[in-house]
Structures are given as C-alpha cells and as structure tokens.
Amino acid sequence: ELQLIQRLAQAIAAEMSLSRSFTRLQELTRLLVPWEQMGFARYDPRARQMELLADTAAQPGAAFRFDADAGLTGEAVRLRRAVVAHGLAKDRVIVPGAETPGSEMLVPLYHGGHLVGLWSVRHSDPAVYRNSDGELLELLAPQLALMIAIEGSLRPVTGASDQTTQYVQTLTATTEEIHASSQEVAASAQRASDGAAQAATLVTTATAEAEQLKQSAGELAA
C-alpha cells in the first residue's frame, strides 16, 4: 500500500495538473481501493461552495456546484479528515442522477491551513469501505491539495484584491513544505524528493509571476 501511495504521489508531482493526471490517478487509486465513481472539486470561499473540476459521473465540460457546509461534505470539512459513509440515500450523492447510492469516501484537501478542495471516491456497494481506507487515502491529501491550489493560482485573476492575495500566498509555498509533504507518504525519502523537486520547480516558476499579481492587485480590484 505504501508503494502504491508513493506511485500516486509521484504521479501528482510529475504533472501538478489535474486535467493531465486524472486518468492516471484513477488507475492507481483503483489498486488501493475499489471504486465506481471518483471526482475532485475546488472550494470557492466566497460562495462557500465546491465547484466540480473533474468527475467520472459528470458530463465533460458541465458546470456543477454544491454546498460545502451541508451533508457529508460539511461533515468532512468540519472534522478536517476523511469521512467514510455507508448505505447512502439518493439525495446524499455528489452528482444526483449520475451515480448509484452506496458507499462514499470524502477527503477534504487543505493547503497552508486553508480548505482548497475535496476528493470523492464512491461505490454502489453500501458496505465496501472501511475507516482504514479513508485513512489510507488521507496520506495523499497534501499532494492533491497542493496540485489544486497551484491550478487555482495560475487561473486568470478576475476577482477582488483579497482573492488575488490568497492566490499569491499559495504560489509562494516553499520548497521545504513540498518536500516535507512528499516525505510523509513516501516509503523512500529519496524517491519522494525526486517527485517533490519537480513540484518545487513549478512553484518556483510560478512564484516569479507573483510579484506582478501583487503590483496589479489594486487595478484588478477596481
């Protein structure tokens, strides 16, 4: 299991892009736990909603949002840890009408102490998951949170200056933080650092543009 976790961590670090690594993440996650539907969402702090980024149950390009404070999502966010649910009703699924209710694991993704997104893994079997499965997936939360935070930071800034500041803070995450989060899930410190180095290069490149965002924050807010 640790070797699989390491392979997943390296796949994330190699791309740092959900769109490019989503298929690979699906393949490796299936080796860890059984699943029928899986998806990722980004947290919108102003609306207090989760915005679906990629989900096997959703139509490509379809926009979908759900309340970050309600249901299982709200429970996972309040507990700040993975939640494993069994025997779900139809009104408790992530994407209504596109999946069969059963079991679900929700992993909240935090970066720098701030909620940035959510990872959902689902199966129609109402008793397929154990609490230990949720703890296993939690080992990947730091890498996934960093990936979603970086992708959000590189989007065009169209909001107010406070939102711009939040993006800049994400961009300036240090190499030490990336390396430390990789070490937590890697069976081999050397292999983990190789993956972290690739992520660090992306953050370093992106950080060079952070100063420009700071200087133009007032203009963007206006």
Query: What are the backbone dihedrals phi and psi of residue 78, each rounded to the nearest 5 degrees, phi first?
Result: -65, -40
3-state helix, strand, coil in the chain (%, to 5): 50, 20, 30
pLDDT of 134-162, one tens digit each? 999 999 999 999 999 987 765 544 344 44
pLDDT of residue 206: 61
User: What's the CA gap between 165 and 161, in Å, rounded?
Assistant: 6
What is the helix (H) or strand (E) element at residue 41, kind and residue range? strand 37-44
User: 84 and 99 in contact (C-beta within 8 Å)?
Assistant: no
pLDDT of 174-200, one tens digit each? 445 555 555 665 555 566 556 656 666
Burial class (CB in 10 A: 0-12, 13-18, 19+), 219: exposed
pLDDT band, very low/low/confident/very high, at 221 (cuts 50, 70, 90): low
pLDDT of residue 164: 47
Whether the predicted model's global pTM rises above the 0.85 cut: no
User: 84 and 117 in contact (C-beta within 8 Å)?
Assistant: no
pLDDT of 57-104, one tens digit each? 887 777 889 999 998 899 999 999 999 998 877 666 666 555 667 899
- Residue 3 tokens read as 């070797």
Higher pLDDT, 113 or 214: 113
pLDDT of residue 156: 43
HEC-encoded secondary structure of 12-35 = HHHHCCHHHHHHHHHHHHHHHCCC
Is residue 30 predicted with pLDDT exceeding 50?
yes
